[in-house]
Amino acid sequence: MRQFECGTLVPGCDWHTRADQDAEIVRRAVDHMRTAHGETVIRETMVEHIKERIRDERAEPAQPAG
């Protein structure tokens, strides 16, 4: 699973998304940029910045049985 956290691009924003495919994450992030941040034109550089910030989802530490 892959993830994108908007706060890595727009400081203070806590929106994030997860998906199996980077293309789906980019689609969701672009939609978020339009609706939440008022971006009317999404330039290729913005798409590249989003792609650069997509990461593998961090594995949650195992909880001890108990």
- Residue 45 falls within a domain, yes or no? yes
CA distances 34 to 1, 3, 23, 24, 64, Å, are 24, 19, 17, 16, 42
- Tell me the per-residue pLDDT of 33-64, one tens digit each, with 9 for 90 and over: 999 999 999 999 999 999 999 999 876 555 56
- Residue 25 falls within a domain, yes or no? yes
Residue 58 DSSP code: P
Q: What is the pLDDT of residue 66?
A: 56
Question: Above 80 in pLDDT, residue 65?
Answer: no
- Residue 49 falls within a domain, yes or no? yes
- Residue 64 falls within a domain, yes or no? no
Count of domains observed in the chain: 1
Q: What is the pLDDT of residue 58?
A: 75
pTM above 0.95, yes or no: no
- Residue 61 falls within a domain, yes or no? no
Cα–Cα distance, 16 to 3 (Å, whole number): 7
The residue segments making up the domain with residue 27 are: 2-56
- Tell me the per-residue pLDDT of 20-33, one tens digit each, with 9 for 90 and over: 999 999 999 999 99
3 contacts: CB under 8 Å, gap ≥ 6: 16, 17, 18, 25, 54, 55, 56, 57, 58
Amino acid at 8: T
Q: What is the pLDDT of residue 25?
A: 98
- Residue 63 falls within a domain, yes or no? no
- Residue 13 falls within a domain, yes or no? yes
